Amino acid sequence: MKNNKVLILFLLLAAMSSCVDSTEKITQPDVSNDRKEMLTFWVEELILPSYAEFDKDLQAMVISAEEFTTNPTEASLSAFRTSWTEAYISWQNVEMYEVGPAEKYTLRSFYNIYPADVAGIQNNINSGTANLNLPSAYAQQGFPALDFLLNGVAAQDENILAFYQDSEKGAQRLSYVNVLVSRMNTLLDQVISDWKGTAKADFISRTGLDIGSSTASLVNAYVLYYERHVRSGKFGIPSGATIASAGTPNPDKVEAYYKKDISGKLAKTAQLAFSNFFNGIANGKQGPSLKSYLNSIDAKDPSTGKLLSEYINEQFSIIENLVEALSDDYYYQIETDNDAMVKVYQEMQKAVRILKVDMTSAMSITITYTDNDGD
């Protein structure tokens, strides 16, 4: 009888153990296929089409730049300025993709470090030689440098034209414009060519979550972009909201400082692109995304218990509403109602915490960059 009781107890424990194992298998699904589908969608429907659209806008800028530098007139200046504006807005849709080829060529650093280094630009023009590959030259090129050269060398268009028509230095100034535009075109060609080459297949093949995997690399680039280049760059530093700014507004550090009335459009475009990427929205359709991935692993916000993706999107909505209410001229906004700019920064800081801590933790992704900007 005693032996029978022992046998029954053993069988019961074995059955319970089997149930636990079965439950664990159900609640911890293998989502590696989800990641492969997500990576494929990211490349084919988001990254490459966004670069193609930006390339189209950049080519329009290249053409108008050539027309202006060949014949600097009021009409060619206006056309160049318009194409520069459209390309700059379009750039906001691809700036976050600083992985793979863009990371290899440090595209963002050569395209959009502001405020422009005016003294460096002037020295480059006067010397006739400049090594634009150096980190010290980041702010002497790209969209911010063209902003100064198109909009900031004088207050009136007639005086801007006189700057380029000058008999002594006009040719050097036009030559520098050509160098900057040509360099932007070459860098973009390299990035797109690499993506169309081996980079695409390599990106899709690295389906893990370890450091160096495609998901981890892009999530790091995505969060870093928002933290440093949207939250701090577009709002925190100009408004003085960052710790490093010590509460002192810096309106001269807004994006597109010399064409101030587009700074709001740039920020709105960047915020929408950031949100669309999270939700997998591309050209009116929705595909595998960070949102769907978080849902597939049933990631929850630890404080409210709601789906983490819903919590993130709620925060995005708060931010988008605040950004929409701002002036399109962030210099003017800071001068007249800086509290509204600071409020955006504060809400973006909340989003950064959720993305950088809660999302990455749920996805088992390690943040590999260091936030060293004093924010």
Say whether both 251 and 301 belong to one domain.
Answer: yes
Residue 339: is its pLDDT beyond 60? Answer: yes
Boundary-marking domain end, from 171, 206, 241: 206
Can you tell me the mean pLDDT for 19-44? 65
Task: Give pLDDT tens digits for 285-327.
Answer: 899 999 999 999 999 998 899 999 999 999 999 999 999 999 9
Counted domains in the chain: 2
Least confident window among 5-19, 39-53, 68-82 = 5-19
Dihedral sign of CA atoms 234, 236, 237, 238 in order: positive
| In the chain, alpha helices (H) | 2-27, 32-41, 48-70, 74-91, 101-104, 107-111, 118-127, 142-147, 157-165, 170-194, 200-205, 214-224, 237-239, 263-279, 290-296, 308-324, 330-353, 360-363
Say if residue 26's pLDDT is above 60: no
Shared-domain flag, residues 188 and 252: no
**What single DSSP character describes residue 307?**
B
345 pLDDT more than 80: yes
Residue 2 has what pLDDT? Answer: 42
Region for residue 240 given its phi and psi (left: phi exceeds 0; alpha: psi -120 to 50; beta: otherwise): left
Q: How many CB atoms lie within 10 A of CB 155?
A: 9
Cα torsion angle, 326, 332, 337, 343, sign: positive
Whether 20 is in a domain gets the answer: no
Say if 81 falls within a structural domain.
Answer: yes
CA distance 331 to 255: 9
Question: Residue 3's pLDDT is what?
Answer: 44
Is a pLDDT exceeding 60 seen at residue 25? no
- 16 pLDDT band, cuts 50/70/90, is very low
Q: Which residues contact 116 (CB under 8 A, 6 or more apart)?
A: 139, 140, 144, 145, 147, 148, 152, 257, 258
When pLDDT is averaged across residues 66-84 and rounded to a whole number, the result is: 98
Task: Give pLDDT, residue 30.
Answer: 52
**What's the pLDDT tens digit per position in 140-151?**
999 999 999 999
The whole-angstrom distance between residue 60's C-alpha and the CA centroid of its chain comes to: 22
| Residues 191, 281 within the same domain | no
The answer on 217 and 166 residing in a single domain is no
Asked if 320 and 190 sit in the same domain, the reply is no
163 within domain boundaries: yes
pTM comes to 0.91
Q: Both 189 and 220 in a single domain?
A: no
Residue ending a domain, among 206, 223, 249, is 206
Query: Within this chain, do residues 139 and 60 fall inside the same structural domain, yes or no?
Result: yes
pLDDT in tens, 80-105: 999 999 999 999 999 999 999 999 99
Same domain, 366 and 340: yes
The answer to whether residue 12 sits within a structural domain is no
**Residue linked to tokens 């600083």:** 98
Is 4 inside a domain boundary?
no
Residue 8 counted as domain residue: no
Let me know if residue 199 belongs to a domain: yes
**pLDDT (mean) for 5-33:** 42
Distance CA 155, CA 153 (A): 7
For 74, half-sphere exposure in the C-beta direction (CA atoms, 13 angstrom radius) is 4
Same domain, 200 and 220: no
Q: Is residue 23 part of a domain?
A: no
Residue-level pLDDT at 46 = 97
Q: How confident is the model at residue 1 (pLDDT cuts 50, 70, 90)?
A: very low
Q: What is the CATH number of the domain that holds 142?
A: 1.20.1420.20
Question: Is the separation of the CB atoms in 365 and 215 below 8 Å?
Answer: yes
In what helix (H) or strand (E) does residue 285 lie, and over which residues does it extend? strand 285-286
- C-beta of residue 347 within 8 angstroms of C-beta of residue 318: yes
How many Å apart are CA 283 and CA 357, to the nearest integer? 30
CA distances for 272 relative to 45, 85, 172, 183, angstroms: 16, 18, 39, 28
What share of the chain has pLDDT > 70, as a percent?
Answer: 90
The string of DSSP letters for 334-358 reads: HHHHHHHHHHHHHHHHHHHHIIIII
The whole-number average pLDDT for the span 185-210 is: 97
Residues 181 and 37 placed together within one structural domain of the fold: yes
Q: Reduce the DSSP state of residue 322 to 3 states and report it.
A: helix
206, 237, 261 - which closes a domain: 206
CB-facing half-sphere around the CA of 2: CA atoms within 13 A: 0
What pLDDT is stored for residue 284 in this prediction? Answer: 83
Average pLDDT over residues 57-71: 98
CA-CA distance, 286 to 275, in Å (whole number)?
12
**What pLDDT score was predicted for residue 7?**
41
Does 196 share its domain with 214? no
Residue 17 has pLDDT above 90, yes or no: no
pLDDT band of residue 31 (cuts 50, 70, 90) is low
The verdict on 181 and 216 lying in the same domain is no
Residue 27 has pLDDT above 90, yes or no: no
Tell me which residue of 273, 278, 305 sits closest to 293, measured CA to CA.
278
Show the domain range for 164: 32-206
